[in-house]
Amino acid sequence: MDVEDTVFLLPGPVRMHPRVLRAMGLPAINHRSAEFQAVLADVRDLTRYLFQTAGPVAVLSGSGTAGLDAGVSGVLRRTDDVLCLVNGKFSERFFELCKVYARPTPLEFPWGEPVDPEQVAAAMERRSFKAITVCHNESSTGLTNPLKEIAAVARKHDALLIVDGITSVGGIEVRMDWGLDVLVTGSQKCIAAPPGLAAVAVSDRAYGLLHEESSFYTNLKAHIDGLEEDDTPFTPAVPLFFAVREALRILKDEGLEARVQRTARLGAATRAAVAALGLEMLPRKGFESNTVSAIRYPPGLDDKKFRGMLEREYRTVVQGGQAQLRGKIFRIGHMGIVALQDLAAGFSGIEAVLGKLGHTFDKGAGVAAVASFM
């Protein structure tokens, strides 16, 4: 397969605009110069726009996990009790991360089921927790958790709310003023930039709590204070900052609200196509993600064969399942600059492969369902 020319529908990285790719390939510049300060100032302002905040923000050279690491290690201390809401692979990893920097207790839900705010409230009644962690959009199960309701519980108990928004920020509505204290995203998801940068927004309350005792590279205070002065505490990944600036400009040109609405249409179109093909979504109805769809394989359909043929014969890239969902689902990413046309292209290949592998459905029903949204 020609990996440079694909129908690219991963749950991240996602397809990048040629403007973003060109920005990335610029020659080296001095990262301690007025020219790069201007880049950092743009990235800071655009990051504030992305998070819809006037408060502290940081952009770290590292993956989204570096942002979560910065948030948890900066706000919490090793003796702090934290309630970790776990209903998928990424919230599970978030719990693992908290083990290093705090004293976490998991509250688990089946994969594909949403976090239940009432159970969170009950856990908070039983015992005191300084903080709650939650993965807003569990891309491992294609599910969006009811963040606003969870935030209300956290507020009621005066607990800090630390949110993995890696596959929601810029694609699904999420507001700091719901009562979020730390919100993290990654560059390669709804922003549609390359992987390698993490963005973090914090509440004034969380900023006041930031300490520097648990981390050096991911020291969140240093990153926030640096960016405020058009600077970074350590050498930044310069080409990725160029790329993210360009990608955020494209996002702002579209408008955050417009992108969120368009992403919702992509999610709805995907679900319509899935239904038209006689397939089933993994997550509980009503909680399906608008940025990542997790689709159950019909009985007997082999993941490796399906995705292999899809790539080789139709140069179309989707993702499989992880951990306990390996072999049971495939996942389609539809965020960033992905368009309905990309979904039509993707489903045309998916239909062809499903047919070849013996799944029966009305030929053309999937692409027709996508087209009905255009």
CB of 116: closest distance to a second copy in angstroms? 27
Rule CB under 8 A: say whether 200 interacts with a second copy.
no
Q: Is 215 among the residues that bind a second copy (CB under 8 A)?
A: yes
Question: Does residue 196 interact with a second copy by CB under 8 A?
Answer: yes
3-class SS letters over the chain: CCCCCCEECCCCCCCCCHHHHHHHCCCCCCCCCHHHHHHHHHHHHHHHHHHCCCCCEEEEECCHHHHHHHHHHHHCCCCCEEEEEECCHHHHHHHHHHHHHCEEEEEECCCCCCCCHHHHHHHHHHCCCCEEEEECEECCCCEECCHHHHHHHHHHCCCEEEEECCCCCCCCCCCHHHCCCEEEEECCCCCCCCCCEEEEEECHHHHHHCCCCCCCCCCHHHHHHHHHCCCCCCCCCHHHHHHHHHHHHHHHHHCHHHHHHHHHHHHHHHHHHHHHCCCEECCCCCCECCCEEEEECCCCCCHHHHHHHHHHHHCEECEECCHHHCCCEEEEECCCCCCHHHHHHHHHHHHHHHHHCCCCCCCCHHHHHHHCCC
Binding a second copy (rule: CB under 8 A), the pick from 91, 140, 316, 319 is: 319
Should residue 37 be labelled a site residue for a second copy when binding is judged by CB under 8 A? no
Which one among 12, 74, 179, 346 touches a second copy, defined by CB under 8 A? Answer: 12
Q: Where does this chain touch a second copy (CB under 8 A) — which range of 24-32, 41-49, 135-143, 252-260?
A: 24-32
Min dist CB 179 to a second copy, Å, is: 25
Counting contacts by CB under 8 A, is residue 74 touching a second copy? no
> Contact region for a second copy (CB under 8 A) — 14-22, 51-59, 176-184, 280-288?
14-22
Which range touches a second copy (CB under 8 A), out of 27-35, 45-53, 223-231, 289-297?
Answer: 27-35
Size of site (CB under 8 A) for a second copy: 59
Residue 139 CB, shortest distance to a second copy, in Å, is 11
195: contact with a second copy by CB under 8 A: yes
Residue 253 lies near a second copy (rule: CB under 8 A): no
Chain residues binding a second copy by CB under 8 A are 3-6, 8, 10, 12-16, 21-22, 24-33, 35, 61-66, 68-69, 73, 96-97, 100-101, 186, 188, 194-196, 212-218, 234-240, 243, 317, 319
